[in-house]
Amino acid sequence: MRLIKKTISAVFACVALASVSMTSQATAQGNILERRVIGTSIQGRPIEAIHMGDPKGVTVAVIGVIHGNEEAGLLITDELVNMQIPKGVNLWVIPTINPDGTALDRRGNANRVDLNRNFPYGWARIGQPGYWQYAGPSRASEPETKAIVAFFREIKPALGLWYHQDLNIISPGVGFEGEIRARYGAITGLPMKRITGGTYTGVAATWQKHGLKNSMAFVVELGKTLSVDEAKVHASAVLDISMMLRDSLSSKLGK
Ligand SMILES: [Zn+2]
């Protein structure tokens, strides 16, 4: 809970500074282009997306939290919003798509739906309210899921990173996506190992890959804890693989 308060006060601090002067705004916000509310949770909390970098660049989306009680990713999104974004990278940072779960320190949303089983690709009924992987009454039934689906259809991310805890691994991938997963693992020290132990229907990253055209996505399973120094390494890894993707796409286009 301490972590949540820190993030929220950091957001307010940035908003407050923005009205002071152009100089302090530039210092406090790095190269933030826009803060947009892309949806509202069941309990009325805003779902915020922070736009940074080069709008003409390759689009990368970073989601700090989907399971409300796995909040270490907020430390990484906090770092990213203060960083200078490399040329040719169009970054959207979404600290939490589950603000009710984050506030309640609960895996699911206020309806106790596991949002990472509610996405509209390969959705299947799982359990009932109270079950840890309850998938909701129907595909994309939850306002938080609908908000992300609509937003991603608009911004069309070439890459999405979804943070979870606390298995401390990244699943290996194939092709270029496998290369960027491995690179992320090499920078952060996370071992490459397949994620097991749940039922994986209606998963957000899987929907992103199959529901959107030319979109890559992967899950980063952080450990039980994450220090600020480790979060800085993760934020650098995000920018590193974003540049890798940018360079690969521009060489494909023969630029
Ligand atoms: Zn999770």
Tell me the domain boundaries of the chain.
33-252
Q: Give the per-residue pLDDT at 30.
A: 56
Q: 60: which strand partners?
A: 91, 159
**How far away, in angstroms, is 111 Cα from ligand 1 center?**
17
Interval between CA 164 and ligand 1 midpoint (Å): 4
Give the CATH number of domain 33-252; options: 3.40.630.10, 3.40.50.1820, 3.30.460.10, 3.10.180.10: 3.40.630.10
Distance from Cα 20 to the centre of ligand 1, integer Å:
38
Contact 195, 219 (CB under 8 A): yes
**Paired residues of 222 in beta bridges:** 165
Q: How far is the CA of 114 from the centre of ligand 1 (A)?
A: 9
> Who's near 174: CB < 8 A, 6+ residues apart?
none
pLDDT at 24: 37
Q: Which residues surround ligand 1, an ion (CB under 5 A)?
A: 67, 70, 164
> How many angstroms does the Cα of residue 66 sit away from the middle of ligand 1?
7
58 alpha carbon – ligand 1 mean position (Å): 26
**What pLDDT, on the 0 to 100 scale, is given for residue 255?**
54
Question: CA angle at residue 109 from 150 to 206, to 5 degrees?
Answer: 50
Q: Which residues of the chain have pLDDT under 50?
A: 1-29
Ligand 1 centre from 100 Cα, in Å? 15
Residue 226 Cα to ligand 1 midpoint, Å, equals 15
Rounded Cα–Cα distance for residues 171 and 26 (Å): 37
In the reported structure, the alpha carbon of residue 21 is separated from the centroid of ligand 1 by a whole-number distance in angstroms of: 40
CA distances (Å), origin 247, targets 87, 88, 241, 254: 11, 9, 10, 10
- Span from the CA of 189 to the centroid of ligand 1 (angstroms): 19
Cα 23 to averaged position of ligand 1 atoms, centre (Å)? 39
Q: What is the C-alpha separation between 193 and 167, in angstroms, rounded?
A: 10
Note the pTM of the prediction, 2 decimals: 0.88
Task: Read off the pLDDT of residues 98-146 as tens digits, 9 standing for 90 and up.
Answer: 999 999 999 999 999 999 999 999 999 999 999 999 999 999 999 999 9
Q: Which two tokens stand for residue 29?
A: 């916000």
Give residue 236's pLDDT: 98
Contacts of 71 (CB under 8 A, 6+ apart): 3, 4, 64, 65, 96, 102, 105, 165
Calculate how far, in angstroms, residue 70's C-alpha sits from the geometric centre of ligand 1: 6
> For residue 140, how many C-alpha atoms fall within 13 Å in the half-sphere facing its CB?
13
pLDDT of residue 6: 44
